[in-house]
Amino acid sequence: MEQWKTTAVILSGLWALIEIASFFASGIPSAIFFLLSVYQALVSTYPIIQRIIIYTSLISLGYLIGRRNTTDEQSNEDDDIEEYMPDSLHGCISYNGVSWRASTELVGNSNTRINVWPTPYCPKCQTELTKGRLPSETFEIAKPAWECENCGYTSERGDDTKTTVERIAKRNFERMTTSKGENHSLNTLAKKYAQTHGSKPTGYDIWKLYAEEVDDDVVATNCFP
């Protein structure tokens, strides 16, 4: 007896679903015909409506085609630039009177860990500096300094200088890699070099072009060989 009740409930549910489907199957075409008749009535009464619809459709179609072409051109341009993209970037940061070299590997167009050379370079002759002390004319303890054995240049040596240089280098590398379409953007600089020289730029070449585009006292080129 219970099985018959269960079967009856299932059959009733199926019948209800069939009725609902039949309603929509008959209702949707009726709604479509109704809307078409309303549209025809409006167009016959107000012909300008048809013109507006046609013009709007043409404008929308033109926009979609133009956008697709622009996207394709941008994609092709990115592919062309990719072959000229260097594997790493090299920078030169001027800080506390000396010049520091920094580099970062490129993964796609994004930079990874920042590497700063352990010792800075002389801003005058690009020689690697050595640690020393500034001579004191009083009884005070001589201050730590960087000394150039080639030209005699000296500069006071700070304790946290390398950490600060790393932050500055990271900021400038990210400025290149995250910006798009700017004069200092990585893609723009790589394209500019490739068009001028017809070859793939190095990380040093990119930085030299970058230094020409930005107005920043810490962005230097006087620590490259």
Q: What is the pLDDT of residue 174?
A: 92
Gyration radius (Cα) of the chain, Å: 35
Band (pLDDT 50/70/90 cuts) for residue 80 is: low
Residue entry with tokens 């590997």: 105
pTM of the model: 0.62
DSSP helix/strand/coil, 185: coil
Q: What is the pLDDT of residue 26?
A: 55
Residues 6+ apart with CB under 8 A from 42: 49
**Which residues is 105 bridged to in the sheet?**
88
Q: Is the pLDDT of residue 128 over 90?
A: yes
**Which residues is 112 bridged to in the sheet?**
none
Percent of the chain whose predicted confidence (pLDDT) is above 70: 62
**pLDDT greater at residue 71 or residue 175:** 175
Nearest residue to 99 via CA among 71, 74, 128? 128
pLDDT digits (tens, 9 = 90+) for 175-214: 999 988 899 999 899 989 988 998 889 999 999 999 999 9
- CA 91, CA 104: separation in Å to the nearest integer? 9
- CA 69, CA 152: separation in Å to the nearest integer? 60
pLDDT digits (tens, 9 = 90+) for 7-55: 544 545 555 555 555 555 555 666 566 556 655 665 566 566 666 766 6
What rounded mean pLDDT belongs to the chain? Answer: 77
Q: Is the pLDDT of residue 158 over 60?
A: yes
Q: What is the mean pLDDT of residues 136-159?
A: 82
